[in-house]
Structure 1
Amino acid sequence: MAGGWSRDGAEHEQMDATVNDALDRVRQALPKGESAQYCDECGEPIPEARRVAVPGVQHCIGCQNELEQDAKASELFNRRGSKDSQLR
């Protein structure tokens, strides 16, 4: 049941759009191409098993974790949030 100016079912469309946007961002961020033998950040060798498991990998596990933490910290808020949630 939608309230205010929205039609019935609008909440589900909004949630689906948010999930689809997140999936698109993740898919675009996946590495592609040939894997690097050495990490682009620290220069340490990337293990063969990681290069095979993640095609196109450019960072060692430690640096990849740091990059993901930095990216997570920069996510501010759900830009499609309801008016009520934006007022809080």
Structure 2
Amino acid sequence: MADIADTAGDHIEKELEMVLANHRNRQLAPASSDPYCEECDNEIPAARRAALPGCANCVDCQQMIEHQKRTRGI
């Protein structure tokens, strides 16, 4: 027969497993995209948001950012 310490230990272990599983699921879930570009505030097309969950910029602004990174060596 399990004593109170064993029961408490089992409960804590199950709780920890649930918390870790929830944390993993949140990390794996793609971030939802804001419908507006962070740079220019124009609407990001729904097709782009669906293709790239979590994107923050419209195509034009993203191309500009990538060009700046290439030219600055970032």
Residues in 2 aligned to 1:36 and 1:65: alpha-carbon distance in whole angstroms: 18
Which of 41, 47, 50 pairs up with 2:48?
Answer: 50
Give identity over the alignment, percent: 38
Q: How many equivalent pairs are there?
A: 45
Note the 1:4-83 alignment, pairs <5 A: 33-75=31-73
Larger radius of gyration: 2
What is the distance in 2 between the residues matched to 1:65 and 1:33? 21
Corresponding residue SS for 2:48? helix
Task: Quote how far apart the aligned CAs of 1:42 are.
Answer: 0.3
**RMSD, matched Cα:** 1.4
- Counterparts of 1:75 and 1:46, CA distance in 2: 27
Unpaired runs of 5+ in structure 1?
Answer: 1-31, 77-88
Task: State the 1:34 CA deviation.
Answer: 1.4
Aligned partners of 2:38, 2:60: CA distance in 1, in Å? 12
Map Cα deviations across residues 49-86 of structure 1 (whole Å, 9 max, x no partner): 0000001000000000000000001118xxxxxxxxxx
Structure (1/2) with the larger helix percentage: 2
Unaligned runs of 5+ in 2: 1-29
Structure 1 consecutive aligned stretches of length 4 or more whose deviation exceeds 2 Å: none
Q: 1:75 & 1:63 partners in 2: Cα distance? A: 18
CA distance in 1, matches of 2:68, 2:52: 21
